[in-house]
Amino acid sequence: MGGAGRFLRKEVSEHLHTWRLPVLGGVFLFFALTGPVLAMLTPALLRSVQSSQPGLVFQIPVPGWRDAYVQWIKNLSQIGAFVMILAAAGSVSGEVSKGTAVLVLTKPLSRFDFIVCKVVVFFGLVVAEVVLGTLVTQAVTLLVFGSAPWAAIWMPTIVWLVFAALLIAIATLMSSIAPTLAAAGLGLVAFFALSIAAMWGPAARFSPAGLTFALSRLLFGQPIALAWPLVTAAAATLAVTAAAALLFSRREL
Amino acid sequence: MANALEVRGLTKRFGDLTALNRVDLAVPEGSVYGFLGPNGAGKTTMLRILTGLARADGGEARLLGHPPGSAQARSLTGFLPDVPAFYPWMRAEGFLQFAGGLFGIERAALEERVPKLLELVGLSRVDSRIGGYSRGMRQRLGIAQALVNAPRLLMLDEPTSALDPLGRKDVLEMIASLAGRTTVFFSTHILADVERVCDKVAILDHGSVVAESDIHSLKARYAAHRLELRVEGGAEGAGSAIGAAGGTGAASLIAALKGRPWVTKVEASSSEPGLVSAVVTDLARARREVPRIVADLGLGLERLESGEISLEEVFVELVGAGR
């Protein structure tokens, strides 16, 4: 196994031995377990508010599996993305500030491989945790509501994972050029910018921003053209990762 | 003999500060080369450039014929930074396996090599995570990881700085044992370490090499020998009249020696009243002429001892002038 392969294994071990796996995994698992339960309890909560405020009338639909799925995707695309960016923002800058990068990069591991391994392993970790979370959501939804169709949860989840790959690449890029805190801030700015851009028609149709817009449509089974957002998101992920590697290779440590 | 490391006109600036100013070095293959300088002289900057962690603004360097930071240069060298940092969740053995893996060394070879390295640096019985290591233990592990690829060129930045006297002795012995097989280039401000193990030395000050030579030539060139003299009645003269014209005893002797061409420095000893210390370039001549000078002054010579000047004195002579 070459140097890159050995570093890849180290990255996987590091996720398993440090806070990243429990924190990220814990967040996703918490969403998976609480989403369907929260969806089931929301009408009861609203009714209790209604009874305490005479004159206030809510039209409360009967909750179902789709509400649990909406909860899962909403959590994933908001808090999940937020936590993921914060964690990825320290992936390179943390090694630089602690000094571990010096021992690694004075050995025959290229800085390009260093960055690519970081992105690949972090994305792999997120995929594994989200897949597990989705399965748990589906199982709890089945228990709570008696039905849990596959496509309605997996389609938006897979689309979100494509978007997550871009967010990880962006956070890694920021981490390659700035300290952790600044990298987290810049990563979040990029995330909010993409979310806002999704409200503009052309950006939603032809750019990665369209993926966030597509999530709710997929949840409700509405037709949507995804080819452009998917292709541009994949291309942007590769381009941003390459930019991170290029900028990091020019940086003095 | 071919050079393992060659540096020509290397320059590095940080804004207005010139950290390295047209540095030239030639480190022969198989030698133990000390890179000596006070704190802030530019030693670490030099090593950062040689390892590819930083870029020079001018000049060039070749490590075993390859440019700094190239894959070839990195595969043939080992490096210990001044403060080595490790993954705290790993154990020493795991880290060395990992470091060896980055060089593409096969697992079977590492299983044989890693225990030997741990034994060499005294960590073979330590099974705790690196996060709990002392600074000295980290330094030892740092040395082990720098040797994991059996490098042809080993670059060490202040390798003994965090070690206790026993650890320091072990590391210096290990460095000395590599002589002839591996080229060792190490930076330090501990002069005794250089004097003990190095074949050659370069002294860096304010980013410039002020001397580069083997240690014996350096001493011979810059100071040669020290004389210690005591004359009858020296204590009262030296105690009161050092530098004063027309004094007797030691003060008269100091005045008489100051004009001699083979005397580069003469002063009263600060540690022992009445003792005169002189640095001379021609010891044989000094041994002949000093008793005569003392006699001409009407004094009696109580003591005349000579000794080789230490590297520390050369260092102070070279570096102290600019401060």
Q: Read off the DSSP letter of residue B309.
A: P
Residues of A in Cβ contact (< 8 Å) with B54: 252-253
Task: Choose among B215, B224, B146, B214: nearest CA to B178.
Answer: B146
- Say what the pTM is: 0.85
Half-sphere exposure of A179 (CA within 13 A, CB side): 3
The chain B residue lying nearest A97, using CA atoms, is B85
Q: How far is residue A4's CA from residue B147's CA, in Å, rounded to a whole number?
A: 20
The separation between the first and the last C-alpha atoms of chain A, rounded to the nearest angstrom, is 27
Mutate to test the interface with A, among B91, B98, B102 (most CBs of A within 10 A): B102
Strand ordering across the sheet containing B58-63: B17-28, B3-14, B58-63
The separation between the first and the last C-alpha atoms of chain B, rounded to the nearest angstrom, is 37
Task: Choose among B116, B81, B120, B78: nearest CA to B99.
Answer: B78
The beta-strand segments (E) located in A161-244 are none
CATH dotted code for B3-216 = 3.40.50.300
Would you call A114 an interface residue with chain B, using a CB distance cutoff of 8 Å? Answer: no
Residue B212 to chain A, least CA–CA distance (Å): 27
Q: How far is residue A241's CA from residue A114's CA, in Å, rounded to a whole number?
A: 11
Q: Which of A10, A17, A98 sits opposite B85 (nearest CB)?
A: A98
CATH topology classification for B223-319: Alpha-Beta Plaits (3.30.70)
Please count the other Cβ atoms lying within 10 Å of the Cβ belonging to residue B167: 18
Does the fold of domain B223-319 match that of domain B3-216? no
Q: Read off the DSSP letter of residue A148.
A: -
Q: Phi first, then psi: what are they for A79, rounded to 5°? A: -65, -40
B54 with A252: Cβ contact below 8 A: yes
**Alpha helices per DSSP H over chain B:** 43-50, 71-76, 92-102, 107-120, 135-147, 165-178, 191-197, 215-222, 234-241, 250-258, 283-296, 311-320
Q: Which of A13, A102, A107 sits opposite B103 (nearest CB)?
A: A107
Interface of B with A (CB under 8 A): 48, 51-55, 71, 74-75, 77, 79, 81, 83-87, 89, 98-99, 101-104, 142, 145, 149
Mean pLDDT for the stretch of residues A219-244: 96
Residue whose structure tokens are 């180290």 = A10
B102 with A252: Cβ contact below 8 A: no
Name the CA radius of gyration of chain A, rounded. 20
Report pLDDT digits (tens) over B277-301.
Answer: 888 888 888 888 999 998 888 888 8
Output the CA–CA distances (angstroms, integers) from residue B132 to A22, A114, B127, B138, in the order listed: 22, 26, 10, 10
Would you call A7 an interface residue with chain B, using a CB distance cutoff of 8 Å? Answer: yes
Residue A167 to chain B, least CA–CA distance (Å): 26
Residue B272 CB partners (closer than 8 Å, separation 6+): none
Q: What is the pLDDT along chain B (323 residues), one digit of tens a residue?
A: 699 999 999 999 999 999 999 999 999 999 999 999 988 899 999 999 999 999 999 999 999 999 999 999 999 999 999 999 999 999 999 999 999 999 999 999 999 999 999 999 999 999 999 999 998 899 999 999 999 999 999 999 999 887 888 888 888 998 998 888 899 999 998 888 888 899 999 999 999 999 898 887 877 666 567 888 888 764 444 444 333 333 467 888 899 998 898 898 888 877 777 788 888 888 888 888 999 998 888 888 888 888 777 777 777 777 765 55
How large is the ipTM? 0.90
A66: left (phi over 0), alpha (psi -120 to 50) or beta: alpha
The chain B residue lying nearest A96, using CA atoms, is B85
Mutate to test the interface with A, among B20, B64, B66, B87 (most CBs of A within 10 A): B87
SS3 assignment, position B231: strand
Report pLDDT digits (tens) over B138-175.
Answer: 999 999 999 999 999 999 999 988 788 888 888 899 89
Residues of A in Cβ contact (< 8 Å) with B79: 103, 106
B158: left (phi over 0), alpha (psi -120 to 50) or beta: left
Domain positions in chain B: 3-216, 223-319
A252 with B55: Cβ contact below 8 A: yes
The residues facing A7 across adjacent strands are none
Please count the other Cβ atoms lying within 10 Å of the Cβ belonging to residue A159: 24
Q: How far is residue A92's CA from residue A171's CA, in Å, rounded to a whole number?
A: 10
Q: Phi first, then psi: what are they for A187, rounded to 5°? A: -65, -40
Name the CA radius of gyration of chain B, rounded. 24
B89 with A6: Cβ contact below 8 A: no
SS3 assignment, position A47: helix
